[in-house]
Amino acid sequence: MTETILVICPRRPARFVLAMSALAALRTHHKTARLIGLVTPATQFIAKTVPYLDDSWLDPRTSMWDLRNIMELRAELRSEPFTRVYDFEQSRTSRLYFHLMHGWRLSPEALAQLPWSGDVATTALYHDNPRKLKMHCVDRLQDQLRVAGVFEHLPADVSWAARQVRDFSAPFRTNQPFAMLCLDNETDEAWPIDRFAALAEWFASRKLTPLLVGFNEHTELAERIAQRCADAIDITGKAPLIDTVFLAWAAAAAVGPNCAAMHIAAIAHCRSIVLCGGKSDPAVEGPRGQRVQVLSRPHIAEIGTPEILTLLGDLGPADV
């Protein structure tokens, strides 16, 4: 009988991208199993694109008090006799999933038999590292898998995009040098739009087309940037994950807040400048890569455009 395994995926897109190497390890370890990812509307597009999951189930809740959808989710979670559950989220939300599946009162003996990899204490695969909350997400997931007996460790990779591509088109000549400005934002802190505009103007002065990217649409922000830099091209909300990988492979550089698109750029070995405020700790959830530089301040608005230009001062068409 084929194993069925549930993976509770991170709820934020950036953390989902950081979990891709752990998903690859699960796919390698459980070669013949059916892997189902439990995802949110914000991360469903990633789950449907990466090659590691066989299916994705959507958490349809609009809030913690959405009782109708909670009961529907409970019925779905109980419909499969999961061989294992890997909780990559490890939060109050994922503990709710545990109780929806197994009830609220379990004996110590029953808990000890449950193959739940996460932070539910005394379960068979309990991730009991007391330092885990201070670990980088990638390291924490690797440690979690090690505790669960999954010792495969695979580096972050997006080469699968080349195998999945069916067609690719860009709203400019693909041999035209360009740089990516990512407008997505996964916290309630935003980098001032006038600094994005100034950076777009600087790229244009270096004969690099400023390409405005993001998995969400940012029409108003893009229009405000275009008022100052007519060369800017807005494809926010229009380029799917695979297209974004190809753009990151070709871009001279990428600049933006700590978000999924910047993580994709980092994995694609694009020269990346990542902007972090106090609500985004790069030591825990920042992009990793040999060509990644992080600017971190207590408030993201404290990061000035000149700091970025200092890091990119040698950039020009010859870099692409």
Band of residue 174 on the pLDDT scale cut at 50, 70, 90: low
Q: What sign does the dihedral 60-65-70-72 (CA atoms) show? A: negative
pLDDT band, very low/low/confident/very high, at 319 (cuts 50, 70, 90): very low
CA distance 306 to 309: 5
**Dihedral, CA atoms, 285, 289, 294, 300, nearest 10 degrees?**
-40
Residues 12-25: tens digit of each pLDDT: 999 999 999 999 99
Residue 169 is predicted with a pLDDT of 66
Name the percent of the chain lying above pLDDT 70.
95
Give per-residue pLDDT as tens, 41-68.
999 999 999 999 999 999 988 667 777 8
pTM of the model: 0.93
Query: Which domains are delineated in the chain?
Result: 4-147 (3.40.50.2000), 164-319 (3.40.50.2000)
Q: What is the Cβ-side half-sphere exposure of residue 187, based on CA atoms within 13 angstroms?
A: 19
* Res 320 pLDDT > 60: no
pLDDT tens digits, one per residue of 110-144? 999 999 999 999 999 999 999 999 999 999 999 99
The amino acid present at 154, given as its one-letter code, is L
Whole-number CA gyration radius for the chain: 21
Q: State mean pLDDT over 244-270.
A: 96
Is residue 257 over pLDDT 80?
A: yes
Residue 205 CB coordination number (10 Å): 10
Q: Any idea how long the chain is?
A: 320
